[in-house]
Amino acid sequence: MEFLTQNVFWIVIALVSGGMLLAPMFRGGGRFGVSPAQAVTLINREDAAVIDVREAAEFERGHLPNARHIPLGELENRAGELNKLKNKPVIVVCQSGNRSGGARATLAKLGFERAVNLDGGIDAWAQASQPLVKGRK
């Protein structure tokens, strides 16, 4: 007990640091999330597919190049269209990373073991000065 009272400051620092390290896992990131830079690497090196789960109007305002548009509400019904991608990295995208986190989990349950969420979504992608394509593909 004496140790705790004499080292309260260091214990608090250790707990806060640990919490900061774990925070991405609770925001949908962590091992199933990738940054825009990591997404670019997956696309360029491993020919990752990009699935945009936003609504049509959002998709038309700007999406990643070569992104396939499957709105979140249609994902389970249209997952068969993606079967040939099961062994490839699949990057799931929405506006901020929340909807795509759930979509990534859905794809994982359907056997897409390499599906990842773009942390921060289109917002983070644009903030990282990555290209966006406007209109329908």
CA distance 45 to 29: 21
Give, in degrees to the nearest 5, the angle at Cα 65 between 123 and 68. Answer: 95
Closest to 27 in 3D by CA, of 120, 128, 126, 123: 120
- Assign 6 a pLDDT band (cuts: 50, 70, 90): confident
Looking at residue 25, its pLDDT comes to 46
Number of CB atoms found within 10 A of residue 18's CB:
10
Catalytic-residue membership of 132: no
Name the pTM for this structure: 0.77
Looking at residue 20, its pLDDT comes to 59
- Phi then psi for residue 118, to 5 deg, are -80, 105
Give the pLDDT confidence of 38-68 residue by residue, as tens digits. Answer: 999 999 999 999 999 999 999 999 999 999 9
Closest to 122 in 3D by CA, of 42, 65, 47, 48: 65
- Catalytic choice (82, 94, 107, 115): 94
CA distance 72 to 35: 21
Q: Which string of DSSP letters, residue by residue, matches 120-134? A: THHHHHHHTT---B-
Residues 6+ apart with CB under 8 A from 114: 87, 88, 89, 90
Domains of the chain and CATH, by start: 28-127 (3.40.250.10)
